[in-house]
């Protein structure tokens, strides 16, 4: 993805383009590590931690990225959400795989039917362990 395309992502969502926002968005797009705010700050130390938190909050509100709050480390992780996908979490290692091999339309239809709400998004995590390790 070109730098210009990244600027366009911010503009499309009505966010002002700043060097900090571009750096954080680029970091999220180019890393598949599902980082925490602190991890981003480690790698982009010239950006203040407050700005990293502020920017992540804005990117989540714009639905450009999503939050993963369920790892057992007690920290909030973030994930660029270019393509809708779900997460497979290895609960032994906290490694996260992004997967797309599942059609969510039936789930969303069921949720609409059960609740009467207008469905705006979803978040799916499937947990697993290494098959070597009996369980």
In which residue are the tokens 């959400």 written?
A: 81
Which residues lie closer than 8 Å to 81 by C-beta, 6 or more apart? 63, 64, 65, 66
Please provide residue 6's backbone torsions phi and psi, each rounded to the nearest 5 degrees. -70, -40
Segment interacting with DNA, rule: CB under 7 A, options 34-42, 94-102, 110-118, 123-131: 34-42
Q: Which is closer to DNA, CB of 49 or CB of 109?
A: 49
Which residues lie closer than 8 Å to 129 by C-beta, 6 or more apart? 90, 91, 92, 135
Residue 119 binds which one of its own copies, DNA, none, with CB within 5 to 8 A depending on kind?
Answer: its own copies
* Interacting residue with DNA among 12, 18, 63, 99 (CB under 7 A): 18
Q: Are 17 and 10 in contact (CB under 8 A)?
A: yes
Segment interacting with DNA, rule: CB under 7 A, options 33-41, 83-91, 93-101, 120-128: 33-41
Q: Which is closer to its own copies, CB of 4 or CB of 113?
A: 113
Residue whose C-alpha is closest to residue 64's, from 117, 124, 12: 12
Write out the binding residues for DNA, residues 42-81 only, by CB under 7 A: 46-51, 53-55, 57-58, 74-76
* Residues of the shown chain interacting with DNA in the complex, contacts defined by CB under 7 A: 11, 15-21, 36-38, 46-51, 53-55, 57-58, 74-76
């Amino acid at each position: 993805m070109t730098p210009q395309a990244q600027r366009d992502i911010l503009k499309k969502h009505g966010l002002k383009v700043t060097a900090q926002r571009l750096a954080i968005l680029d970091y999220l797009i180019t890393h598949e590590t599902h980082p925490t705010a602190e991890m981003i700050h480690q790698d982009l130390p010239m950006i203040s931690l407050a700005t990293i938190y502020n920017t992540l909050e804005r990117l989540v509100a714009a639905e450009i990225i999503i939050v993963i709050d369920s790892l057992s480390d007690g920290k909030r992780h973030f994930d660029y959400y270019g393509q809708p996908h779900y997460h497979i979490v290895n609960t032994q290692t906290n490694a996260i795989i992004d997967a797309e091999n599942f059609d969510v339309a039936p789930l969303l239809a069921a949720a609409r039917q059960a609740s009467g709400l207008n469905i705006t998004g979803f978040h799916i995590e499937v947990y697993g362990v290494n098959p070597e390790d009996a369980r």
